[in-house]
Homo-oligomer: A and B are copies of this chain.
Amino acid sequence: MRKSSALIHPVILCGGAGTRLWPASRECMPKQFARLVDLEQSTFQATMRRVAEPGLFARPTVIAAAESRFIVAEQLAQIGLPADIVLEPQGRDSAAAVAVAALHGARTDPEAIVLILAADHVIGDAEAFRRAVATAAAAARTGSIMTLGIEPTRPAADYGYIRRGAALSDDGGSRGPCAVERFVEKPDRAGAERLIAEGALWNSGYFLFRADTMLAELETFAPDVLAGARAALEAATTDLDFVRLDAAAFETIPKISIDYAVMERTGCAGVLPVSFAWSDVGTWDAVWSVLERDGDGNALRGRVEVIGTRNSLVHSEVEGLTTVVGLEDVVVVTTPDAVLVASKAQSGRVKELVGRLRAKAHPEADTHRRMYRPWGWYQRIDIGERFQVKRIMVTPGGRLSLQKHFHRAEHWVVVKGTAEVTLNERVALVHENEAIYLPIGSMHRLTNPGKIPLELIEVQVGSYTGEDDIIRVEDIYGR
């Protein structure tokens, strides 16, 4: 076992909305938390597991958007892995996050090795990944800011490239750590082919560095980013299990990527070529390409039937049937409130579609039908002129805020588990197949005092059933 200071400190960046994977990925549930590639776990959870190797890695740090905090906590609890959770009040691009990561790592040890990971990548071979990280860490210990450079498998026009320079050590040769000669922006296809012929690598966005190395480079090339990050961390508050960066300080940080701010300017950039299967699953086309496919080249998930269809992805998250007849190279995604049908080749344009949906104020652009909350989730199942019906799930121990509504009464029918309902001065237990009525204006609170999830059907009746008709009097989650 290495001594603690030799451990690598993983920092997982969880920002980003993943709009190109709409409608499965949306701002309220970005792709890193969705179960898109592996139906058993999100890519965030897979990333956490990849760095759960006590002999190699220290306790990870997760940097996430404040709105994602309950999803992060819930998904960590599901896999039973602990992490420090640092919340960004808003997205300020990757330089800010890397600066926070370096400062956070330096608190343990100025020479701590920090590994920056994206939460939304798919990597085929976790063992090969860890071997590569250990090799790159050795180069980082001598003062390089290392990246992992993926050996290209096709002339991709949607990745940045890295041209290798001289070897950093004698033993690896061109297979070992090299200096970076140049970072190249996303090329066109011909440019990509030329770069690959010259031995260039894909820029994976993984970085390894000694905290003090990165802090020195930030001081030189992006002092305002560093100053803002330092101030935001110093004035941070701790709220439940979260470290909340100070909003006022954080919003002074320029929005810039770590590539522009440091990597393209530093003299310390190094790259380790790696050849494990990797994808940033940025588009539905990319999702299709990492999934297992049947003899017709189709990846089919959920209740799906196809005839005469080839090389297509059909991903259903709904109870009903999704069917495809006589098509090739298409993507079909069905969710409870939105359906996407796209040509695989043009699936990158989904981002443009989401922009259009936002411009037209379609709520499906950003919010999911099922809304996750610290206490569980709710999902609208029907809506009419003067009513709305929701299914509500409360986790054991979960407790909604003490609240009231001005424009709607609510009927709750418990269909699973037991509810503890506060209604004005009364507290009652409501069991499966029992109902309770909450008149307009009454003060009420819902708690799951039991050991199994509580599920209930809520029928709201009134002249207005919007989410904003709520007065929260008390809330254990600090909302």
List residues of chain A with CB under 8 Å of any chain B CB.
23, 303, 305, 307-308, 319-327, 330, 332, 334-343, 345-347, 349-350, 352-353, 356-357, 360, 362, 364, 369, 381-387, 389, 391, 409, 411, 413, 415-416, 432-433, 435, 437, 455, 457, 459, 461-462
Contacts A384-B415, A457-B389 hold; do A320 and B337 have CB atoms under 8 A apart? yes
- Which residues of chain B have C-beta atoms less than 8 A from A387's C-beta? 415-416, 455, 457
Within the assembled complex, what's the spacing in Å between the Cα atoms of A461 and B417?
12
Report yes or no: A340 in contact with B323, Cβ–Cβ below 8 A.
yes
Report yes or no: B433 in contact with A461, Cβ–Cβ below 8 A.
yes
- Which residues of chain B have C-beta atoms less than 8 A from A353's C-beta? 305, 307, 323, 325
Report yes or no: B384 in contact with A381, Cβ–Cβ below 8 A.
no
Report yes or no: A341 in contact with B320, Cβ–Cβ below 8 A.
no
- Which residues of chain B have C-beta atoms less than 8 A from A325's C-beta? 340-343, 346-347, 349-350, 353
Choice from B332, B337, B352, B381 contacting A341 with Cβ under 8 Å: B332
Choice from B23, B305, B308, B381 contacting A381 with Cβ under 8 Å: B381
- Which residues of chain B have C-beta atoms less than 8 A from A411's C-beta? 411, 413, 435
- Which residues of chain B have C-beta atoms less than 8 A from A382's C-beta? 381-382, 389, 391, 457
Report yes or no: B322 in contact with A342, Cβ–Cβ below 8 A.
no
Within the assembled complex, what's the spacing in Å between the Cα atoms of A345 and B457?
44
Could you pull out 12 A-B pairs where Cβ atoms are within 8 angstroms? A319-B337, A320-B335, A320-B369, A326-B345, A327-B341, A332-B341, A381-B389, A385-B416, A389-B389, A415-B459, A415-B461, A433-B461
8 further interface pairs, Cβ-Cβ under 8 Å (given A323-B341, A339-B339, A384-B455): A305-B353, A307-B356, A320-B364, A325-B340, A384-B416, A411-B413, A433-B461, A435-B437
Within the assembled complex, what's the spacing in Å between the Cα atoms of A324 and B357?
12
Contacts A341-B332, A353-B305, A356-B307 hold; do A459 and B413 have CB atoms under 8 A apart? yes
Q: How far is the CB of A389 from chain B (nearest CB, A)?
A: 6
Report yes or no: A307 in contact with B349, Cβ–Cβ below 8 A.
yes
Q: How far is the CB of A36 from chain B (nearest CB, A)?
A: 17
Report yes or no: B457 in contact with A459, Cβ–Cβ below 8 A.
yes
Report yes or no: A386 in contact with B308, Cβ–Cβ below 8 A.
no
Determine the residue in chain B with the shortest Cβ distance to A459: B413
Determine the residue in chain B with the shortest Cβ distance to A354: B323
Within the assembled complex, what's the spacing in Å between the Cα atoms of A349 and B347?
26
Within the assembled complex, what's the spacing in Å between the Cα atoms of A384 and B454?
13
Q: How far is the CB of A371 from chain B (nearest CB, A)?
A: 15
Within the assembled complex, what's the spacing in Å between the Cα atoms of A133 and B303?
48
Q: How far is the CB of A410 from chain B (nearest CB, A)?
A: 10
Of A323, A381, A459, chain B has the most CB atoms within 10 Å of the CB of A323
Within the assembled complex, what's the spacing in Å between the Cα atoms of A320 and B345?
25
Within the assembled complex, what's the spacing in Å between the Cα atoms of A435 and B409?
12
- Which residues of chain B have C-beta atoms less than 8 A from A307's C-beta? 349, 352-353, 356
Q: How far is the CB of A407 from chain B (nearest CB, A)?
A: 12
- Which residues of chain B have C-beta atoms less than 8 A from A350's C-beta? 325
Within the assembled complex, what's the spacing in Å between the Cα atoms of A382 and B362?
24
Within the assembled complex, what's the spacing in Å between the Cα atoms of A409 and B461?
22
Within the assembled complex, what's the spacing in Å between the Cα atoms of A335 and B322?
10
Report yes or no: B345 in contact with A321, Cβ–Cβ below 8 A.
no
- Which residues of chain B have C-beta atoms less than 8 A from A330's C-beta? 327, 341
Contacts A330-B341, A342-B327, A391-B382 hold; do A357 and B433 have CB atoms under 8 A apart? no
Report yes or no: A341 in contact with B319, Cβ–Cβ below 8 A.
no
Within the assembled complex, what's the spacing in Å between the Cα atoms of A349 and B306?
11
- Which residues of chain B have C-beta atoms less than 8 A from A319's C-beta? 337, 383
Within the assembled complex, what's the spacing in Å between the Cα atoms of A332 and B326?
12
Contacts A360-B305, A455-B384, A457-B387 hold; do A338 and B320 have CB atoms under 8 A apart? yes
